[in-house]
Chains A and B, each alone.
Chain A
């Protein structure tokens, strides 16, 4: 079975440019998460969708960040305009929730490594 698929794997962009990160969750999963990993803050949740609806976006840093989930098989995280401090690894993850059988296990993609110069 295919896991969570993210693209691009690596992106280098100039400050001020728009960045779009893409995610395809595991088929059948109803919850999708965007996490960001930095040395300073570790792994932090940015936003969480359930059945394509944003449930908790309290972790989104500021208005420059936006996320959408137009259907059950696709999500985007957009940064506009990008800044050097946005450089991080962005992980998309998916799960079937609630699912007592799986214990709400969340499966991660390989991450998108973003560098803003």
Chain B
């Protein structure tokens, strides 16, 4: 069975602080994909990043960076120099690559509410 755990329900930081959102996943599949989505107050789900299970290189995109570690089944997300506009709920998700009925479906964590104060 697939499972994604985001242990941090809420995080509050002050602008310009760095913040890391944790994500731990469980799967027996050797081929899988990990995702982060952002849900701002307006409600839409915005795709941020995808990682496949064979690529453990960390990725940086502007103030965002992601740390994928298969040894600990974690895919953590760090925002550097946070801004008020980063305030949102962030979801980590897992997709496995079998060809059965679950192909492509996303297993979501419960999300982490990030609030950045000015």
Interface positions of A (Cβ within 8 A of B): 31, 33, 35, 42-43, 45, 48, 50, 55-56, 89, 91, 93, 95, 97-98, 102-111, 113
Closest to A3 in B: B44
Q: Which residues of A contact B37 (CB under 8 A)?
A: 108
Tell me if A106 and B108 are in contact (CB < 8 A): no
How many interface residues does chain B have, given as a range? 20 to 34
Closest to A58 in B: B101
Does B28 make an interface contact (CB < 8 A)?
A: no
Q: Which residues of B contact A97 (CB under 8 A)?
A: 103-104
Closest CB in chain A relative to B76 CB, distance in Å: 19
Q: Which residues of B contact A31 (CB under 8 A)?
A: 104
Q: Tell which of A35, A43, A104 touches B104, judged by Cβ atoms closer than 8 Å.
A: A104
A93 and B35 CA atoms in complex are apart in Å by: 14
Tell me if A89 and B97 are in contact (CB < 8 A): no
Q: Tell which of B33, B35, B43, B99 touches A110, judged by Cβ atoms closer than 8 Å.
A: B43
Closest to A48 in B: B105
User: Given A98-B97, A103-B50, A111 and B105 touching (CB < 8 A)?
Assistant: no
Tell me if B105 and A33 are in contact (CB < 8 A): yes
Q: Which residues of A contact B111 (CB under 8 A)?
A: 42-43
Tell me if A56 and B101 are in contact (CB < 8 A): yes
Q: Tell which of B52, B102, B110 touches A103, judged by Cβ atoms closer than 8 Å.
A: B52
Q: Which residues of B contact A111 (CB under 8 A)?
A: 43-45
Tell me if B91 and A105 are in contact (CB < 8 A): no
Q: Tell which of A42, A89, A105 touches B47, judged by Cβ atoms closer than 8 Å.
A: A105
Closest CB in chain B relative to A39 CB, distance in Å: 10
Q: Tell which of B46, B95, B109 touches A104, judged by Cβ atoms closer than 8 Å.
A: B95
Q: Which residues of B contact A95 (CB under 8 A)?
A: 104
Closest CB in chain B relative to A7 CB, distance in Å: 14
Further 11 A-B residue pairs, CB within 8 A, beyond A43-B111, A111-B43: A42-B109, A42-B110, A56-B101, A98-B103, A98-B104, A102-B50, A106-B95, A106-B104, A108-B45, A108-B47, A110-B44
